[in-house]
Structure 1
């Protein structure tokens, strides 16, 4: 196998610590021996997470990145600007919300109160070591989500321009960057797998600093007919997103997640704007007991198998 890392986009700036990068995305890549898959996979982390969420689990099992490489896929794991290994690249003066607390992290990923949630690698709750580790690796989210999503989408496009067409797998708040990149450059996105993207469409959640003014995103999507202001989208006309037309999309929902309730509505909206969207309920595939952090959980390999079978079904097998 071969592996490495690279920086994508951004600009050189002067900081109190010397010369630095602003707005750059960090990308770690790994390729299997031999030809591997003709379609690489780009993994986009969610919310305040980071690329390492795809590398391993809190109990030291392999994450989706190494599992995909074992299955013959070339994998690109990104840290969005301002997160993880790209933590120092957030634009100077960018305002962010509060840092994730143990209680907040537990509430999203492992509250420990839902008897259906059996796959988290720990007891759950704010004192759970797995929750403590996850909170320690998390960062606060920019308050200007429109600008952050647009920046993330632009960086994904730059990455795709250098590696060629790929499958995007996004988690949670990483999904808007995926929608924006796919809509702008459909020639570079073969399919999107969105693990519990923010929704339902037009969600307004001020407590999260999130408003999906453009349906699936806070940043403008290129609708047809052209839309000059997002409120037009609520006025009853039929709108499409030409760049998403015919794009295979899987919207994945876990059984015991507090954030999975909008998945079906997101899939419905994607079909409305032209995508070939499937709503995948893991429980329908006999994959039970998962929460929002499904890629970190005990049966993460079973969830990946569901995703790979779906990719097979749309003609994107290894």
Structure 2
């Protein structure tokens, strides 16, 4: 059992290799490769280093059945291991989407994981503690303090330290850049370089990488065929925390977005707060004052925002969707329980019904994203 837990993805990779070795020369076979995109040299003459480069892993199916590749971008404290397998050894989304016929690209965000971090260039890091992960991700039913937390049933295990599945998951956690501005700036440049290399694609983002999808689309709107944003960082303009601390000064991002009429400073975006929430258990949204400015680079591709039943995002992700819709983006906002998918927390790609959720996302992409 322990062998299965720690080696499932590598067994999968070995199968890919053996398939390539034993297949006829003219028969397409699955393959796995990697490369880096982006990056620039910085430093004084004779002491230059490269910074901002992004690790990308490519999985190519035996037969490509989907018209566009899928780019999987992990959230805070995570790396591409999120997509490879679950911490209790089940099939991950990368393998599943590969079987559905997608070319799959997985990244480690710049200055994260296999993408080099330089403290003197990229700045300070942050790290989630084990108690924070327990409360927010894995044991919300007993530790969460938001209205929907008690509905969490899909984490595979107790979600507490000492449980093998929790320990396997926490072992994958890594430091993230403290600065959201630095993170988005680096990822926008690297994401644009990736799309320049691979061509039109679908972005699938999660949590902290939600704004990365928006800023990459801002940079290369003509190469985005769709964005699937799973519980993106939000809500607009502030964090849902005591005192509503300011965040995402440009609405859904911390770095500039193109509005019409033109905005040269975020203070020019006039806002208003809902007088009352849409329903019990939700926050009142901060939206644009009428008439709203339009996000002109978000008009030509479909967007899906999803939120699970029990996540700490459940009280506020509708605000991000409402803001984007108000700004002219063609967006669908779907709560998973509306599709009969219940009991999930924030880490949907790792939970017991992870493949059911992947299939739901696949069906949305097939129905909304046309060749």
Q: Above 0.5 in TM-score?
A: yes
Report if the CA contact (8 A) 1:165-1:190 is conserved. Answer: yes
Report if the CA contact (8 A) 1:24-1:89 is conserved. Answer: no
Match of 2:69 among 28, 36, 40: 40
Alignment match, 2:284: none
Distance 2:231 2:358 in 1: 14
Residues 165-176 of structure 1: pairs in structure 2 closer than 5 A: 165-176=200-211
Alignment match, 2:302: 248
The answer as to 2:231 corresponding to 1:196 is: yes
The answer as to 2:240 corresponding to 1:212 is: no
Distance 1:32 1:79 in 2: 21
Deviation at 1:245, TM superposition (A): 1.1
Match of 1:107 among 106, 112, 135: 135
CA deviations over 1:165-185 (Å, ceiling 9, x no partner): 000000000111110111221
Distance 2:50 2:335 in 1: 40
Distance 1:23 1:159 in 2: 13
The structure with the largest alpha-carbon Rg is: 2
Deviation at 1:57, TM superposition (A): 0.5
Distance 2:49 2:86 in 1: 31
Deviation at 1:99, TM superposition (A): 1.9
| Alignment TM-score, normalising by the size of structure 1 | 0.91
Distance 1:210 1:238 in 2: 20
Distance 2:118 2:363 in 1: 37
Alignment match, 1:145: 180
Deviation at 1:247, TM superposition (A): 2.3
Report if the CA contact (8 A) 1:245-1:273 is conserved. Answer: no
Residues 59-208 of structure 1: pairs in structure 2 closer than 5 A: 59-86=88-115, 88-90=116-118, 92-111=120-139, 112-113=141-142, 114-204=149-239
Distance 1:136 1:271 in 2: 38
Deviation at 1:139, TM superposition (A): 2.4
Distance 1:20 1:299 in 2: 43
Deviation at 1:263, TM superposition (A): 1.5
Change (3 A) 1:25 1:90: farther
**Mean Cα displacement is larger for which, 64-73 or 106-115?**
106-115
**Mean Cα displacement is larger for which, 238-247 or 165-174?**
238-247
Distance 1:74 1:35 in 2: 7
Provide the aligned C-alpha RMSD in A.
Answer: 2.3
Question: Unaligned stretches of 5+ in structure 2?
Answer: 1-29, 143-148, 272-288
Distance 2:246 2:93 in 1: 27
Question: Unaligned stretches of 5+ in structure 1?
Answer: none
Equivalent pairs, count: 314
Deviation at 1:90, TM superposition (A): 4.2
Change (3 A) 1:100 1:183: same
Report if the CA contact (8 A) 1:81-1:90 is conserved. Answer: no
**Mean Cα displacement is larger for which, 279-288 or 254-263?**
254-263
Alignment match, 2:258: 222
Report if the CA contact (8 A) 1:105-1:134 is conserved. Answer: no
